[in-house]
Structure 1
Amino acid sequence: MAKKVLIAGESWMSYTTHVKGFDSFYTTLYEEGVKYIRAAIEKAGYEVDFLPNHLAASDFPYTMEELKKYDCVILSDIGANTLLLPAETFTKSIKMPNRCQLIKDYVLEGGSLIMVGGYLTFSGVDAKGRWGVTPVQDVLPVKVLDIDDRMEHPEGIAPVLVKEHDVIKDVPKNWPEFLGYNKTVLLEGAEEVMTIGGDPFIAVGNYGKGKSAVFTSDCAPHWGPHEFIEWEGYDLLWKNMVDYLVK
């Protein structure tokens, strides 16, 4: 039976006002950025379930039994509030399980976690990601800042190899440049595999019986430009990372 991966996040909705002289009208748009990383992980032989942001709020697992159906959980461009504020709690004041605590316990009991960068992971835009003040921080190899952590590089910035590691085994050395990343600080006991701008880019750590990894830029546009998602090493990178964590 194929091992299972859960990806949460990587979707957004846009509401646009069009003004044309005296008149105006509105349009809405729903988009997903998951297709690139999902295809890479499925190509590696894993079964992938995807919870876009608007469904993760209600459908992300509430129990260890549900979460342990997955060998790896990937959080990508999803804020902690989405898991901390289910509708039952926010609108009806009903107590619900803390799913950030659940993720921590899942890793400690042998699960695998990957956090991928974006405007709402780590600290994120205006520090709205808020992952650093949740129990998830305790099972990440990097410290999440308590300020807006975006490092925007419209000119492009290249990651730098620190050490050889299974997560980048046989991945080509000709890494493309990225357009930004989330600034974090490596924690004691974690392994830094690559840096970007002098900050962690890929890092891994062991926590209890499980493991976690971070990739502090984006797995899709805009920080991950087309040169990255079309790069010959893209699929192998994500295969290696999931393989290493669930091994």
Structure 2
Amino acid sequence: MNSKPRVLIAGESWTIHSIHQKGFDTFSTVEYAEGIRWLREALETGGWQVDYQPAHVAARDFPFDAQALSKYDCVMLSDVGANTLLLHPDTFVRSVALPNRLHAIRDYVAAGGGFVMIGGYMTFQGIDAKGQYSGTAIEEILPVTISATDDRSEQPQGVTPEVIDAAHPIVAGLGSKWPHVLGYNRVAPKAGATLITNVGNDPLIVAGNYGKGRTVAFTSDCAPHWAPLAFVEWEGYAPLWRQLAAWASGK
């Protein structure tokens, strides 16, 4: 029997379609990429079983209800927009009515599950407000409120996280000297939430409770570009994500 804690991670993938123009002629190339390897390695080497769904897989295969999600100790969304979970191909193409999977996550957390939202261009509200989580069941369960507009804070010069609550289990033993990040999503902590780490005047890590479960907002990225190599190769990177997942799951 598998006794490992189990996490489902959706997102952290993208496809690049490039057009090459050479004088009169053009041709195109397509590249598929994933940014999951640092987070997955951090969790797997810490004893977690990681089930990973790239964005295009999550569109069809992400679970439909809290019961199906209940086999996971923690669920993470990273850089994947709300529409990916709202518009199942059978709904978008064939007009089939299917369960709202954002509601499934909410109900899973209410029953005792752990949930983490990781920042990026397609989480929280995201670039051009295309993440589209404002006003959804995900905002309902998160310990932060989400802007209705583009919420990115690009920090090309780098901004260094500041630990606010050093006693919190998520940041235990990580010290006060963290590598810089290059951007994040702006959010506001809800009343009763625990602000753990800041970036500038904005939150980086906020933790809270919903029903019987726990939720965490991590407003920067778990991979480049917002999380540069100095961050993902930082000795505190793996302990941070293990402790974050453990706290969210109640472990």
- TM norm structure 1: 0.98
Pairwise CA distance, 1:158: 0.8
Which segments of 5 or more consecutive residues in structure 1 lack a partner in the other structure?
none
Per-residue CA distance 1:60-81 (angstroms, 9 max, x = gap): 0012221111110000000000
**Which moves more between the two structures, 57-66 or 179-188?**
57-66
Length, aligned pairs only: 247
Per-residue CA distance 1:36-77 (angstroms, 9 max, x = gap): 001001111010000000000000001222111111000000
Q: Which amino acid aligns with 1:145?
A: S
The answer as to 2:2 corresponding to 1:3 is no
Q: 1:227 aligns with which of 225, 230, 241?
A: 230
Pairwise CA distance, 1:172: 3.3
Pairwise CA distance, 1:245: 1.6
Report SS of the residue matched to 2:170: helix
Q: Distance in 2 between matches of 1:170 and 1:59?
A: 37
The answer as to 2:206 corresponding to 1:213 is no
What is the identity percentage for the equivalent residue pairs of Structure 1 and Structure 2?
A: 48
The answer as to 2:130 corresponding to 1:128 is yes
Q: Which amino acid aligns with 1:181?
A: Y
Q: How does 1:21-170 map to 2 (within 5 A)?
A: 21-164=23-166, 165-170=168-173
The answer as to 2:27 corresponding to 1:20 is no
**Contact 1:122–1:144 (CA under 8 A) maintained in structure 2:** yes
Q: Which amino acid aligns with 2:182?
A: L
The answer as to 2:179 corresponding to 1:198 is no
Pairwise CA distance, 1:238: 0.4
Report SS of the residue matched to 2:235: coil
Per-residue CA distance 1:72-105 (angstroms, 9 max, x = gap): 0000000000000001111111100000011001
Aligned residue for 1:174?
Answer: 177
RMSD across aligned positions (CA): 0.7
**Contact 1:172–1:232 (CA under 8 A) maintained in structure 2:** no
Q: Distance in 2 between matches of 1:188 and 1:63?
A: 28
Q: Distance in 2 between matches of 1:96 and 1:176?
A: 43
- TM norm structure 2: 0.97
The runs of at least 4 consecutive aligned structure 1 residues that moved more than 6 Å come to: none
Q: Distance in 1 between matches of 2:170 and 2:45?
A: 16
